[in-house]
Chain A
């Protein structure tokens, strides 16, 4: 305590006052943080695209103009978002070079959509992805898509009706179509990297393309007309071998893909009726299980798809009051789902890309055997027998029973 008494002689009050002063001075310098950035210093990026441009990367960023997005303002002639682009030998360099054209530093935490140009996707995407997973500003909750036959820049310079910010349009529409349509793959960064790294599963990315006249879409006129001349549209699933885009699944195959990988939440399937016309069901619940096993030294896979559905529309004569009709319909739909899945597998086999993760399923069930075939998996996959079992249960049929078609005169 002696130590303190020495100070005490000078007067505890003086020391306290000095300490208080010191703290006040410190507050000026150390309060808050160095990395503090105010909202009006930020250029909030919502869309981000990478293209190949010769030896370099061309990076395009869609940035929100906050003043234009605010709802209470009367519509002005300025566009709600702006796009900046810059080239660089690496992605990071291109982004920093962008500061020569942007008035503010680009801020990535609110990123909604990441678009990879078709050309870059075919050459390989691995180099471009590291920055995205390393930078602390980026989260992993944005979706990734490939610009089908286009550059990312073209996709990002598009006017979209209904949703002012095109990148959130793309994000929401992928969300919705993933939940209620099926043949899209809503991929996030961590899932993509996981598939790229995995030996027993190849990556997929959903494709985005322009429906209509691409020229019109970049003009403001596109949102001033009732029937917009051009739309952004998700179309098919892009298949990757390692990190290179090698082909596309069409809509049916994509549905089969979603079904096998258990990412299908809801979709519409229709089948022909025996006497002409079609009947459509809405899948309300779908669950699939994948099993890999080894029989007689050969790998095999088994897929079990269980689907619950409601009848959505009937455009033919059917007696829905009979259980027999329902049973027959169930069989019909089982066949269609099975065909979708088989076609998806056939396409994947022709591209030599195991996008379903059959390899991983075999790895899980028999790790020792997997180690012996893992380096040769691409060729093994082409000959892999896959047994698909489909079980469809039709539960409800909406608010009417038999369709009014039954009473119509021929």
Chain B
């Protein structure tokens, strides 16, 4: 393997939770409220359940090829050339594109809410420099950083919820299921895709986990924690501001933080609260970028991955700028991205599993031998 880092199951849980919250915390409440109005919270619950239901697929795929990343076992399943082609496509279209989206999310947020006269490129470059430093250090340092920052994230989030809770108006979520289940499910589908299906990229770091037998549990709890955070923020937005306002706002979470006012002195702390998504977007972006870089290196059979970080970083910055012409783009992108994420995050792994099953034991045996070859080879 290119990176020998080992991570514990607890670190996996933490990174999955941070990854799930990622940039979704900024966008999801508005999206869910637009389609499901006051029932946004039901959509959120449904999506969490669906997201967890997909989990066994990833686990099955990961367990079939222990010690191998997605990019590596694709070659075992589909043959070397087709496998390399599909894996390069997957990496470019999924983790790398997602990284561009996440970067653009933080850039758009900063230029809309906090520093409107600052060129978005400046924000992207500065943010990505920190990401590249993280990726060059490798998986283990990223995970340890996540482990250190996670309690602060939870602390800030809990404070956020407690500070805003006096303004809750319960009648905002009534009547329940006014439009029936249809809009609720309709809103839930893209939310299932973003961010739940995106957890497919974790197939790229399964082999690094020190207790492979407990990967499923770690992933499960990570999704539950991340999903709970998104559920709570959606619920809070609707309870405090009402479904109409939540839907109209581009960044409801920030508007919610702006509303915090306790005893006329604990107020104007939205800048502090924005640290919540600075943390989560940083870890989502770093992980996605790490996966893209190391995946490219594996598919191209390179001996080193670090030298890729800067050139790919330059591409990522240009990509993130070109990816969306304006803010309206994002509203239409939700549905498109849902199809995209379901294709790559659900259909592709299912197909891979099916092909692997058809090819049967022969493929598995080949995989086992090539895995042992991999281990005997020196890494650098």
User: Bound state CA distance, A366 and B114, in angstroms?
Assistant: 42
Q: Which residues of A contact B369 (CB under 8 A)?
A: none
Nearest A residue to B242 by beta-carbon distance? A194
Which residues from 185 to 233 on chain A have a C-beta closer than 8 Å to any C-beta of chain B? 190, 193-194, 197-198
Say yes or no: A139 contacts B258, CB within 8 Å: yes
Question: Is B144 interfacial (CB 8 A cutoff)?
Answer: no
Say yes or no: B241 contacts A364, CB within 8 Å: no
Q: Which residues of B contact A295 (CB under 8 A)?
A: none
**Interface residue from B118, B241, B307 paired with A190 (Cβ < 8 Å):** B241
Say yes or no: A30 contacts B126, CB within 8 Å: yes
Question: Is B267 interfacial (CB 8 A cutoff)?
Answer: yes
User: B174-191: contact bitstring with A at CB < 8 Å (1 yes, 0 no)?
Assistant: 110010000000000000
Nearest A residue to B112 by beta-carbon distance? A136
Which residues from 345 to 390 on chain A have a C-beta closer than 8 Å to any C-beta of chain B? 360, 363-367
Nearest CB of B to A188, in Å: 9
Question: Is A56 interfacial (CB 8 A cutoff)?
Answer: no
Q: Which residues of B contact A197 (CB under 8 A)?
A: 244
Which residues from 114 to 129 on chain B have a C-beta closer than 8 Å to any C-beta of chain A? 114-119, 122, 125-126
Which residues from 243 to 279 on chain B have a C-beta closer than 8 Å to any C-beta of chain A? 244-245, 255, 258-259, 261, 267-268
Say yes or no: A35 contacts B245, CB within 8 Å: no
User: Bound state CA distance, A1 and B258, in angstroms?
Assistant: 49
Say yes or no: A35 contacts B116, CB within 8 Å: yes
Say yes or no: B115 contacts A33, CB within 8 Å: yes
Say yes or no: A140 contacts B258, CB within 8 Å: yes
**Interface residue from A1, A33, A141 paired with B304 (Cβ < 8 Å):** A1
Given known A1-B380, A34-B117, A363-B175, contact A193–B258 (CB-CB < 8 A): no
**Interface residue from B117, B178, B307 paired with A367 (Cβ < 8 Å):** B178
Say yes or no: A194 contacts B245, CB within 8 Å: yes
User: Bound state CA distance, A366 and B261, in angstroms?
Assistant: 34
Say yes or no: B267 contacts A141, CB within 8 Å: yes
Say yes or no: A364 contacts B126, CB within 8 Å: no
Question: Is B372 interfacial (CB 8 A cutoff)?
Answer: no
Q: Which residues of A contact B117 (CB under 8 A)?
A: 34-35
Question: Is A78 interfacial (CB 8 A cutoff)?
Answer: no
Say yes or no: A140 contacts B259, CB within 8 Å: yes
Nearest A residue to B125 by beta-carbon distance? A30
Question: Is B336 interfacial (CB 8 A cutoff)?
Answer: no
Question: Is A16 interfacial (CB 8 A cutoff)?
Answer: no
Which residues from 308 to 366 on chain A have a C-beta closer than 8 Å to any C-beta of chain B? 360, 363-366
Question: Is B171 interfacial (CB 8 A cutoff)?
Answer: yes
Nearest CB of A to B263, in Å: 13
User: Bound state CA distance, A1 and B118, in angstroms?
Assistant: 38
Nearest A residue to B240 by beta-carbon distance? A190
Which residues from 160 to 195 on chain A have a C-beta closer than 8 Å to any C-beta of chain B? 190, 193-194
Given known A1-B380, A30-B122, contact A193–B245 (CB-CB < 8 A): yes
Q: Which residues of A contact B258 (CB under 8 A)?
A: 139-141
Question: Is A3 interfacial (CB 8 A cutoff)?
Answer: yes
- Contact-residue size bin, chain A (C-beta under 8 Å from the other chain): 20 to 34
Nearest CB of B to A241, in Å: 19
Nearest CB of A to B194, in Å: 25
Question: Is B113 interfacial (CB 8 A cutoff)?
Answer: yes
**Interface residue from A34, A190, A367 paired with B122 (Cβ < 8 Å):** A34
Q: Which residues of A contact B259 (CB under 8 A)?
A: 140-141, 190
Q: Which residues of A contact B178 (CB under 8 A)?
A: 367
Q: Which residues of A contact B118 (CB under 8 A)?
A: 33-35
User: Bound state CA distance, A136 and B112, in angstroms?
Assistant: 7
Which residues from 128 to 173 on chain A have a C-beta closer than 8 Å to any C-beta of chain B? 136, 139-141
Given known A1-B304, A136-B113, contact A367–B175 (CB-CB < 8 A): yes
Nearest A residue to B244 by beta-carbon distance? A197
Q: Which residues of A contact B242 (CB under 8 A)?
A: 194
Nearest CB of A to B174, in Å: 4
With a 10 A CB-CB cut-off, give which of B113, B114, B116, B380 has the most chain A CB atoms.
B116
Q: List 23 A-B contacts (CB under 8 A).
A: A3-B304, A3-B307, A30-B122, A33-B115, A33-B118, A34-B115, A34-B118, A35-B115, A35-B118, A136-B112, A136-B114, A136-B116, A139-B268, A190-B245, A190-B259, A193-B245, A194-B241, A194-B244, A197-B244, A364-B174, A364-B175, A365-B175, A366-B175
18 further A-B pairs in the complex, CB-CB below 8 A; given A30-B125, A34-B118, A141-B267: A3-B304, A30-B126, A33-B115, A33-B118, A34-B115, A34-B117, A35-B116, A136-B116, A140-B255, A140-B258, A141-B258, A141-B259, A190-B245, A190-B259, A193-B245, A194-B245, A360-B171, A363-B175
Chain B interface (Cβ < 8 Å from any Cβ of A): 112-119, 122, 125-126, 171, 174-175, 178, 241-242, 244-245, 255, 258-259, 261, 267-268, 304, 307, 380
Chain A interface (Cβ < 8 Å from any Cβ of B): 1, 3, 30, 33-35, 136, 139-141, 190, 193-194, 197-198, 360, 363-367
